[in-house]
Amino acid sequence: MAHVVVASAERTIDAPADEIYRYLADMHLHSRFLPPPFYDFHIEGGGVGTGSVVRFKIDFAGGVRELRMQVTEPEPGRTLVQTDTGGSGLVTTFTVTPQGEQALVNITSRFHGESGVAGFVERIIAPRRLHRVHGKELARLDAYAREQRVG
């Protein structure tokens, strides 16, 4: 029986929530925040917020996977969701919560895991690895926000 793998990370960023949300919703900027194992990022449609479609590759857990993600904004200005149009079931949600002049940013990914022994190993390893990847993405977002405030 397949299961759902969930991983998340969050970070407080010293910039207003509306500014941070704009950075995440702009797919041209968003690609700057993606750390390895993400690469070969392309915008196929739109470019900002709902209706955008992006494609990228991820080298994760010993294999390369190409993903095509549809962007929606269930709560514009607060929640941005990227959903894989393929069969992985991957959904990554970016939530930006105002905290005065700062923003708490959470990235949570969910996908359909493997079954059997591979699924058992995946349940142990994938959340930890994805947590680290999301942490690096948040660090890059934070660095970009800091650069914008100085410049």
pLDDT recorded at residue 126 = 67
pLDDT recorded at residue 90 = 87
Contact 5, 122 (CB under 8 A): yes
pLDDT recorded at residue 127 = 66
pLDDT recorded at residue 58 = 86
Given a cut of 60, whether residue 1 has pLDDT beyond it is no
Contact 90, 67 (CB under 8 A): yes
Q: How many residues does the chain have?
A: 151
> Residues 24-76: pLDDT tens digits?
999 999 889 999 888 999 999 999 999 999 999 988 666 788 899 999 999 99
The arithmetic mean of pLDDT across residues 131-142, rounded, is 93
Which run of H or E residues covers position 87?
A: none
**CA-based torsion, 85, 90, 94, 95: positive or negative:** positive
Given a cut of 90, whether residue 128 has pLDDT beyond it is no
pLDDT recorded at residue 124 = 59
Q: Lowest mean pLDDT of 50-54, 99-103, 123-127, name the range.
A: 123-127
Provide the strand spans (E) within 46-101.
53-60, 63-75, 79-84, 91-99
Q: What does the CA dihedral 83, 141, 18, 8 come to, rounded to 10 degrees?
A: 50
Can you give the C-alpha Rg of the chain in angstroms?
A: 15
Query: Parallel, antiparallel, or unpaired for β 4-13 and 63-75?
Result: unpaired
